[in-house]
């Protein structure tokens, strides 16, 4: 599996290389997509040079992991050719004590085994602490995650939506006790959500070599420009339980910024989505941009954003910043 167009970056200071554009299962897997369509989407991403596929235990209450596991098994890809992840924190065991909204050792040690079963894999490449847990000592979480790596159940571990102070604390605990350190963070990053990646984490990139696998590069679809006339019934904003998303997608101030971006995309000869994805990838601190899609043609279109990356000259990036002001 090779691509002449795809670019690859090291995940932080690790030796692992991930495709600049990757594919995630949030919202779509075991929700909008059946196995056949999920397979088509993953194969389209793989054929476009994608080698990283993102998942999480909580997505569809384990259903997303199970579906991705079935699809990977059916595709028969060589295990060496792809990187797959999951994330732990929310739990999927109802209100069972010690197994919900936690990063304690008991939950983490059992959650990884269940994820491996659902995904039909011997190990996961990346595992993330999906949120920080204020009720569990960071030291307990660091030891549990490091043990996960030592046991060969995961190769690298990291965090998602942790503060810079929490990430640094975890890294320093691992350093002090000679444990496996957190390698990567998965924050939200897009044209409308920039502070954490560009400012809060600024010192961590050089100090500890933090890698980033960013999510929601299209601001849940807002940056595609397709919500100009409201929320289409076949979009994720219309799904039950995503009413909060529909509100965000119709925010007047954000919509105005998106419309100011439209002429720039037109001049570049690309879609709004492609420009937004390329803009995220233009930040050298971004290891990989996680994309999502509900059909194979959308995957192919998204991955063509790699060609737009070369068009984002300093002048174009400055025009984008002015449009977003």
End-to-end CA distance of the chain: 41
d(CA 65, CA 128): 14
Spans of all domains in the chain: 8-219+283-311
Residue 243 has pLDDT above 90, yes or no: no
Asked if the model's pLDDT at residue 241 lies above 80, the reply is no
**Pick the catalytic residue: 46, 59, 189, 201?**
59
Task: Report the distance separating Cα 6 and Cα 46, nearest Å.
Answer: 11
Cβ–Cβ under 8 Å, residues 41 and 71: no
Percent of the residues in the chain that have a pLDDT greater than 70, as a whole number: 94
Q: CATH second-level architecture of 8-219+283-311?
A: Alpha-Beta Barrel (3.20)
Distance CA 33, CA 234 (A): 12
Pairwise CA distance, residues 148 & 127, whole Å: 9
At 249-296, the pLDDT tens digits run 778 899 999 999 999 999 999 999 999 999 999 999 999 999 999 999
Q: What is the pLDDT of residues 92-137, one digit of tens each?
A: 988 899 999 999 999 999 999 999 999 999 999 999 999 999 999 9
Q: What pLDDT, on a 0 to 100 scale, did the predictor assign at position 229?
A: 67
pLDDT of residue 226: 86
CA atoms within 13 A on the CB side of 18: 28
Tens digits of residue pLDDT in 140-171: 999 999 999 999 999 999 999 999 999 999 99
Sign of CA dihedral 95, 243, 60, 56: negative
- Rounded mean pLDDT of the chain? 94
Q: Residue 3 above 50 pLDDT?
A: no
Q: If DSSP codes are grouped into helix, strand and coil, which group holds residue 18?
A: strand
Active site residue 205: no
Q: What are phi and psi of 174, to 5 degrees?
A: -60, -40
What is the H or E stretch that residue 112 is in?
A: helix 105-119
């Amino acid at each position: 599996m090779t691509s002449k167009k795809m670019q690859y970056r090291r995940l932080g200071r690790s030796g692992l290389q991930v495709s600049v554009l990757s594919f995630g299962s949030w919202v779509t897997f075991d929700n909008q997509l059946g196995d056949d369509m999920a397979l088509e989407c993953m194969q389209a991403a793989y054929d476009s040079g994608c080698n990283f596929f993102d998942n999480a235990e909580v997505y569809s209450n384990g259903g997303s992991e199970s579906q991705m596991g079935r699809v990977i098994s059916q595709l028969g890809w060589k295990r060496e050719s792809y990187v797959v992840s999951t994330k732990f924190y929310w739990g999927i065991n109802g209100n069972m004590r010690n197994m919900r909204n936690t990063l304690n050792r008991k939950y983490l040690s059992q959650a990884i085994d269940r994820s491996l079963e659902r995904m039909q894999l011997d190990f996961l490449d990346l595992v993330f602490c999906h949120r920080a847990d204020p009720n569990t000592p960071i030291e307990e979480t660091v030891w549990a995650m490091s043990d996960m790596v030592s046991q060969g159940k995961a190769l690298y571990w990291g965090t998602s939506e942790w503060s810079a102070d929490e990430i640094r604390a975890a890294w320093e605990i691992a350093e002090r006790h000679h444990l496996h350190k957190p390698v990567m963070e998965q924050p939200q990053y897009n044209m409308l959500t920039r502070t954490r990646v560009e400012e809060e984490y600024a010192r961590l990139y050089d100090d500890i070599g933090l890698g980033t696998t960013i999510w929601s590069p299209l601001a849940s679809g807002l940056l595609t420009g397709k919500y100009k006339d409201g929320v289409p019934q076949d979009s994720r904003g219309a799904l039950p339980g995503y009413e909060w998303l529909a509100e965000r997608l119709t925010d007047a101030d954000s919509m105005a910024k998106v419309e100011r971006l439209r002429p720039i995309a037109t001049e570049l000869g690309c879609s709004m989505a492609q420009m937004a994805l390329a803009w995220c990838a233009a930040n050298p601190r971004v290891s990989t941009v996680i994309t999502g899609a509900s059909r194979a043609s959308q995957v192919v279109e998204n991955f063509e954003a790699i060609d737009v990356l070369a068009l984002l000259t300093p002048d174009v990036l400055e025009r984008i910043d002015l449009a977003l002001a």
